[in-house]
Amino acid sequence: MADANINYNTAVNYWESTTSDVNGVLGGYGEQTTLPQVEQQGSLKFIKKLKSRMLMNKDEEIMYGRRVMDFGAGIGRVTKNVLYKINEGNPHQQTMRFDLLEPASNFVDQMRIDLQPVNEQGLLGDIYHMGMQDWPHNVQDGSMNNKKYWLIWCQWCLGQVPDNELIYLLERCKKLLVKNGTIVVKENTINSFGLDEQDEFDPQDSSVTRTDNKFRWIFEKAGFNLIACERQKGLPEELFPVRMYALKPRED
């Protein structure tokens, strides 16, 4: 199994050796390329199609706010350019709070700088400097008390987590969603045209690229319904296909 080769320390060491900018977090496809803008617009279009399925109970909004989690947040690029813009100019934005999770210390330092405008508006929530495998059970500061999420966004990070741990992570996330909460997964994938396609391990950053079928199996095992799936358009042909999956907890 490709995921058996994943090593958390190797992954963190790799990312802490890269530059703390868009070029670093996107593996060389920085602002000098069209990739950042194209993929950000793809995310915004995808979430716009889901809005009618993300309505929030007013009582829950008063109690929890529209809290968003950005997993594997890097320097905060997705929060700044996608998640922050979901309700931009809408009264709902005032109830939004953006939490971020990132294990690489250089990225955490940079996100605090890049997200200063969000912080000044009182919309920046908690920053968790830890791996996904440690969240939320190893959070000791009390910041997870009475917290529920409207949206949990996982982008280009789940390949750092083995299959069984990913299922466990999604199960933990399920318990932290509001009643109509949503998880979005945006990841590199391998097209699954048959049963012989296999996940691929990358020793450089100690990550695995999963097949589309593997992701769907993991979502099912974790107790989620897949309500929407799209392939990101406009990315360089040499890259793996990138797919966006929208998940809702299954009512068993």
Task: Look at 121-135, 136-150, 184-198, 224-238 and tell me which has the smallest mean pLDDT.
Answer: 184-198
The Cα 159–Cα 201 span in angstroms is 9
**What whole-number percentage of the chain has pLDDT above 90?**
94
Averaged pLDDT, 121-128: 97
Q: Say whether pLDDT at 195 is over 80.
A: no
77 marked as binding residue: yes
116 marked as binding residue: no
Q: Say whether pLDDT at 37 is over 70.
A: yes
The domain ranges of the chain are 2-249
Residue 27 — left, alpha, or beta (φ > 0 → left; ψ -120 to 50 → alpha)? left
User: In whole numbers, what is the pLDDT of the chain averaged over residues?
Assistant: 96
Q: Say whether pLDDT at 196 is over 90.
A: no
Q: Which pLDDT score is estimated for 1?
A: 83
Q: Say whether pLDDT at 197 is over 90.
A: no
pLDDT band with cut points at 50, 70 and 90 for residue 251: confident
The residue with tokens 């048959």 is 194
Q: Does domain 2-249 have CATH number 2.40.30.260?
A: no
pLDDT band with cut points at 50, 70 and 90 for residue 192: confident
1 marked as binding residue: no
Q: Which of 246, 188, 217, 148 is nearest to 39 (CA)?
A: 188
Token pair for residue 3?
């995921």
The Cα 98–Cα 78 span in angstroms is 11
244 marked as binding residue: no
Distances (CA, A) of 249 to 65, 141, 178: 19, 28, 10
> Over the stretch 68-90, which tens digit does the pLDDT of each residue have?
999 999 999 999 999 999 999 89
Q: Say whether pLDDT at 161 is over 70.
A: yes
198 marked as binding residue: no
pLDDT band with cut points at 50, 70 and 90 for residue 14: very high
